[in-house]
Structure 1
Amino acid sequence: MVSLLLSSMADNVSPSKQFYWLVSVFSGIIMCTIVYKLTGIISVLCFKGYRKLSNEKKLEWNNRGFSTFHAFIASTASLYLLLLSDLFSEDYHDELIINRTSSLSETVLGISIGYFLSDLAMILWLYPALGGLEYVLHHGLSMFSIFLALVSGKAQIYILMVLFTEITTPFVNLRWYLDVAGLKSSNIYICNGVALFLGWLFNAYLIERTLTCLHVSEFEMTGDLFYVVSFSSSFSCYPTLLTSDQIHHGKRNLPLGLLQLACGAPYVGNYECVLVLEDCQRFD
């Protein structure tokens, strides 16, 4: 299917459009490189403990710097495109929502591909210091689904919904920074855990599920294999692997219904589920 898509792209997409996509991807790579270096420079000047870290920890520290930066860009742009712009408004366009695209949405997708390529390159180069096989699989599926949406101009709304979940990444990274800095018992660590839970619940359930329900009829009407592959591969990066027993265990101070509501959202990253529920245990 990918070969057919590429041949169709070569026939139907102008060279200028293909060049624009490449520029977006390389912009994402350059962005990650610059932020990676700036993170190291700023950390040396502002955080005394940075110099005492091992080389491996410094690499991950800087890596999480451009991860956080991409998260801000991707989530902010996705929020604008999904809720604030007229791109997916039913009142401004006659075509199906899953067929809509814009220069901004293509730029966001291209930059995200550049980010995932950069992060994956570091993961493979330093394997398994920055993550194991699950990270390689996650990044591979993410790039595949984003690539399909970009070159075909289809189902970009669903990819943007997934990219909006990056809004919780800064909290995940801040959690790691505080842990490395020896502040795991501090109030800011607890507040960050609460913020992670609330942000995760908001984007995973309220935004993604609501928008999916609004447009699922259009998804079913197409009957196109592409939509199935793109939609399922993108959201398969966020499986829910926690059982009801895991949700209930050690969470007596939080309503079970609220936790089940959150963990029942089908597009939530398993890693973030573990972090959120681990933070919940701290209140017991």
Structure 2
Amino acid sequence: MLDPFFAPVALLEGLVRPLCDSLHLYSLPLHIHEILSAFAVYHVIFEYVAPPLSSWLLPQSYTKLSWESKLRWNMHCVSLVQSVSICVLALWVMYADQERKTMNLEERMWGYTGAAGMVQALATGYFLFDLSVMIRYLEVFGVGMLTHASSCLLTYTLGFRPVFNYYGCVFMLYELSTPFLNFHWFFDKLGMTGTKAQLYNGIALISVFFSCRLVWGAYSSFNIYRDVYNALYLSSDTKFDSRPELMIYGQDRSLPAWLVVLYLGGHVTLQVLNVFWLGKMIAAIKRRFSPKAKIDKKEK
């Protein structure tokens, strides 16, 4: 399926092509305009849309927040827009991209479709923006968030080799739980801690988080582990009837050890963290509805 976004800017594509080719990121020039567009949109929301809009809609809440809480509020606004939009796009591509649906092992490893590349590019643009904010306000968000932004940006950028293009949409569905997490944070800042709205949102948060990050995440991780194993140990004995149009950018059909360790190690780490975060979320929601709890509604 072709990229449904507007066509690449020839001048920009030609400008980055030599560097991208030298880094073995062969499909990145086709999506550099989407990466930069996403970065610009999220920057505008963070700097110029979220602050005045929040002040206008919620003058009694937003304007009384501390400087640090306003920064976090603005980031949650960006995160809300990003998580909803990227999940809608990922689900649409998974449904509509017939070429992606019928990929064989070789194509899932090194194949490429423009629509899946678009989802990957928009995610990369967000993580580039996220990294810039984490660096700029390191004292607010901390080293942990900086590390998260860096690792996500690196992982999605390396996907432009292309490698695991098929799985870009799959793992973007982790973000299905993010809107509920954002609303949970907003409820605290709006003085709605312990309300029925926060309770219902908390139930939805835990349910969706468990379903998309633990169940779907474990299933999808198993699939990518299996594909990597088969590509490393079985594909040499198999002849694939791969479609040339899907493999045109798969010039570097290899799985170097560092790439396997980076991807698979990252998935194992993330799954462990997901279990840890789920426990933390359950504990946090319990505290908010405990009759003995005294929670500061303005906590960070």
TM band (smaller chain): 0.7 to 0.9
Which residue of 124, 128, 131 maps to 1:120? 131
Match of 2:152 among 132, 142, 155: 142
Cα distance change, pair 278–11 in 1 and its aligned pair in 2 (3 A): closer
| 1:71/1:169 contact within 8 Å kept | yes
Deviations, residues 188-235 of structure 1 (Å, cap 9, x unaligned): 111111111111111123323333444543221222236513522542
Structure 1 residue 135 displacement after superposition: 1.0
Tell me the equivalent position of 2:202.
193
- 2:55–2:63 CA contact under 8 A, matched in 1: yes
Which of these residues, 45, 60, 75, is aligned with residue 72 of structure 2?
60
| Distance in 1 separating the partners of 2:109 and 2:36 | 26
Task: Give yes or no for the alignment of 1:33 onto 2:43.
Answer: yes
In the alignment of these two chains, the number of paired residues is 248
Contact 1:98/1:155 (<8 A) preserved: yes
> What is the identity percentage for the equivalent residue pairs of Structure 1 and Structure 2?
17
- The whole-number CA distance in structure 2 between the counterparts of 1:176 and 1:103 is 35
Structure 1 residues 18 and 94 mapped into 2: Cα distance closer, same or farther (>3 Å)? closer
Larger RCO, structure (CA 8 Å, separation 6 or more):
2
Query: Residues 8, 32 of structure 1: CA spacing in aligned structure 2 closer, same or farther, 3 A cutoff?
Result: closer
Q: Quick check: 1:97–1:215 contact (8 Å CA) kept in 2?
A: no
Whole-Å Cα distance in 2 between the matches of residues 159 and 237 of structure 1? 18
Distance 1:78 1:216, change over 3 A: same
Q: Quick one: which amino acid aligns to residue 207 of structure 1?
A: W
- Pick closer, same or farther for the CA change 1:229–1:156 going to 2, 3 Å: farther
Pairing 1:276–2:285 present: no
Maintained 8 Å contact 1:141/1:237: no
Structure index of larger Rg = 2
Aligned residue among 62, 68, 73 for 1:50: 62
TM-score of the two chains, using structure 2 as the length reference = 0.72
Q: Deviations over 1:121-176 (max 9, x none)?
A: 222222221x22211111111111111112x1111233433321111111111111
Separation (CA, whole Å) in 2 of partners of 1:181 and 1:45: 14
Structure 1 residue 29: Cα displacement: 0.9
Aligned counterpart for 1:97 among listed residues 108, 118, 131: 108
Judged with a 3 Å threshold, the aligned counterparts in structure 2 of structure 1 residues 83 and 234 are, in CA distance, closer, same or farther, namely farther
Which consecutive unaligned segments of at least 5 residues does structure 2 have? 1-17, 233-254, 291-300
TM-score (norm 1): 0.76
Could you tell me which residue of structure 1 aligns to residue 30 of structure 2? 20
Determine the structure 2 residue equivalent to 1:202. 211
Residues 12 and 200 of structure 1, relative CA distance in 2, 3 Å threshold: closer
Judged with a 3 Å threshold, the aligned counterparts in structure 2 of structure 1 residues 270 and 197 are, in CA distance, closer, same or farther, namely same
Partner SS for 1:191: helix
